[in-house]
Amino acid sequence: MSRPLPRPLFLLPALIAGLSVIVTAFMAGAQEDPLKWLPPGSRIEATLSEYPARAVISEQQGGRPGHLARLGELVFRSPLTLGRDAARRGLSCDACHTNGAANTAFMIPGASDRPGNIDLTHRAFHFREDDGIDNPVNIPSLRGVRWTAPYGHDGRFPTLRAFSHNVITREFGGPPLENWLMDALVAWQMEFGFTDRNRSRPTGDAYRAHCMSCHGDSTALPGAGIHDIGTGRLVQAPPLFGLAESAPYLHDGSAATVRDAVRAHDDLDLPDGILAAVVRDAEQLGTVTRRFDPETLTGDLRRLDGFLDLVNQQLLDEDGLKADRIGDMVAMEIGHIYRRFDPEAEEARALVRQWAKTLAEVMRTGLAQEYPAARERLAALKDKIKSDLPRLQSHEQTSLYASAAADTEKGKDQ
């Protein structure tokens, strides 16, 4: 009996063919809007000027995320993580939980009864899990998620790993994520911190008496436990940090304001004066002083450069398969940048298309186990992106980046 080829060589022809399909699809479809696969009126991404502020624990402490967490950021942002249907529609973990916050603008007509809500078992969202029940849930913030186990609105998942696996395989119908990518995804989620834990004033008596035992305060997170507040469903009591960026409220998003959310608690029949004090303290606890970080061209290119470093690390480790897997996700990041330039800015789009072609060459060379050559091509790509920046900036005024800058300046003036 003949001896089988080593696994990488045995799979090489199929992998190269698969790569060609992916790259060809990217090059042919880069101009297409993923929303064409969703019902009209859908909105799945925060605008560039309303991108929730980044709150990364290692950065808050003066450092930066390690390699595993940085890989997890790419996995979190990539639609490929959630399976073929999600990739076609541009859906990713980051689409719902942008920068770890809740995307309060997320909307899919039919599956959403209001922005920020989604019925995960509706045919407009995932036809294979349609249960025939109108049961949308509010998209939760993942701020500080490392400290708030168990997970899910009803706390049925003991670990982030179990929660993430359910999201990928059940909610989105994707294949299970490989262990090394799941490790990275969890590591990135563990980096999500709180934006502003408001310690500017002590919690009032009314809040301590009626809210603190379930929701905690500025010094204490809520303990694990589930409650029925009168909605007919057992749910966890979330921490109230960052309330300003997470409306609407309650597990089903049925409360438009903090006052509405407090009023929904059947066990709280509060006089107007005490209700006002409770709402005031909750809103004070949930104050956010820096809600948005505008997305910029230089910021996107800086992030892209870091993601290319992830490919380089796999080439240094001489693992062409992992370099290829990461490269597929990075190609979609290039696609995001491409679509932010107006179709008439052909020079800018041509430059970005060339980045994708060069990345495809890097991946093919890595799969062929020609690692020094692959690293040289990748280094040349990184240099090319830097040298292309001035030419891209010359088209910035007709791109979405210019709109984001204008919206940000307008917000400062209001």
pLDDT at 229 over 90: no
Residue 89 · residue 37 · CB < 8 Å: yes
What's residue 198's pLDDT? Answer: 56
For residue 398, give the nearest of 350, 342, 343 by alpha carbon.
Answer: 342
Q: What is the band of 45 on the pLDDT scale with cuts at 50, 70, 90?
A: confident
Lowest model confidence (mean pLDDT) among 57-66, 120-129, 265-274, 349-358: 120-129
In a domain, 345, yes or no: yes
Length of the chain: 414
In a domain, 3, yes or no: yes
Instruction: Provide the whole-model pTM.
Output: 0.88
**d(Cα 1, Cα 130) in Å, to the nearest integer?**
49
Structure tokens at 99: 């920068």
Mark which of 285, 315, 345 sits at the end of a domain: 285
What's residue 11's pLDDT? Answer: 41
Q: Is 256 found in the same domain as 312?
A: no
Q: Is 308 found in the same domain as 223?
A: no
Q: Which amino acid is at 232?
A: G
What's residue 97's pLDDT? Answer: 95
Structurally, the chain folds into a number of domains equal to 2
pLDDT at 78 over 90: yes
Q: What is the dihedral of CA 332, 110, 171, 192, to 10 degrees?
A: 60
Q: What is the band of 24 on the pLDDT scale with cuts at 50, 70, 90?
A: very low
Q: Is 353 found in the same domain as 332?
A: yes
Mark which of 233, 266, 285 sits at the end of a domain: 285
pLDDT at 76 over 80: yes
Q: What is the band of 17 on the pLDDT scale with cuts at 50, 70, 90?
A: very low
In a domain, 160, yes or no: no
Q: Is 325 found in the same domain as 229?
A: no
Q: Is 303 found in the same domain as 241?
A: no
User: How confident is the model over 58-85, as a mean pLDDT?
Assistant: 96
**d(Cα 76, Cα 116) in Å, to the nearest integer?**
19
What's residue 4's pLDDT? Answer: 36
Q: What is the band of 1 on the pLDDT scale with cuts at 50, 70, 90?
A: very low
In a domain, 272, yes or no: yes
For residue 129, give every residue at least 6 positions away whose Cβ sits within 8 Å of its Cβ, in sequence order, or none: 120, 121, 170, 171, 173
For residue 363, give the nearest of 410, 326, 394 by alpha carbon.
Answer: 326
**d(Cα 204, Cα 280) in Å, to the nearest integer?**
9
Q: What is the band of 285 on the pLDDT scale with cuts at 50, 70, 90?
A: confident
In a domain, 385, yes or no: yes
Q: What is the band of 272 on the pLDDT scale with cuts at 50, 70, 90?
A: very high
pLDDT at 388 over 90: yes
User: How confident is the model over 384-397, as a mean pLDDT?
Assistant: 97
Comparing 14 with 180, the larger pLDDT belongs to: 180
Q: What is the band of 102 on the pLDDT scale with cuts at 50, 70, 90?
A: very high
Q: Is 253 found in the same domain as 213?
A: yes
In a domain, 325, yes or no: yes
The pLDDT tens digits for 138-197 are: 999 999 999 999 999 889 999 999 999 999 999 999 999 999 999 999 999 999 999 866
What's residue 201's pLDDT? Answer: 63
For residue 352, give the nearest of 310, 378, 389 by alpha carbon.
Answer: 389
Q: Is 327 found in the same domain as 302?
A: yes
Computed over every residue of the chain, the mean pLDDT equals: 87
What's residue 88's pLDDT? Answer: 86
What's residue 27's pLDDT? Answer: 42
Helix (H) or strand (E) holding 189: helix 179-189
In a domain, 243, yes or no: yes
Mark which of 251, 285, 319 sits at the end of a domain: 285
For residue 327, give the nearest of 26, 67, 10, 8 by alpha carbon.
Answer: 26
pLDDT at 324 over 50: yes
Name the residue range of residue 234's domain.
205-285
User: How confident is the model over 236-264, as a mean pLDDT?
Assistant: 92
Q: Is 394 found in the same domain as 348?
A: yes
Q: Is 230 found in the same domain as 305?
A: no
Q: Is 315 found in the same domain as 255?
A: no
Q: What is the band of 202 on the pLDDT scale with cuts at 50, 70, 90?
A: low
Q: What is the band of 37 on the pLDDT scale with cuts at 50, 70, 90?
A: confident
In a domain, 304, yes or no: yes
Structure tokens at 46: 């925060």
What's residue 222's pLDDT? Answer: 84
Helix (H, G, I), strand (E, B), or coil: what is residue 187?
helix
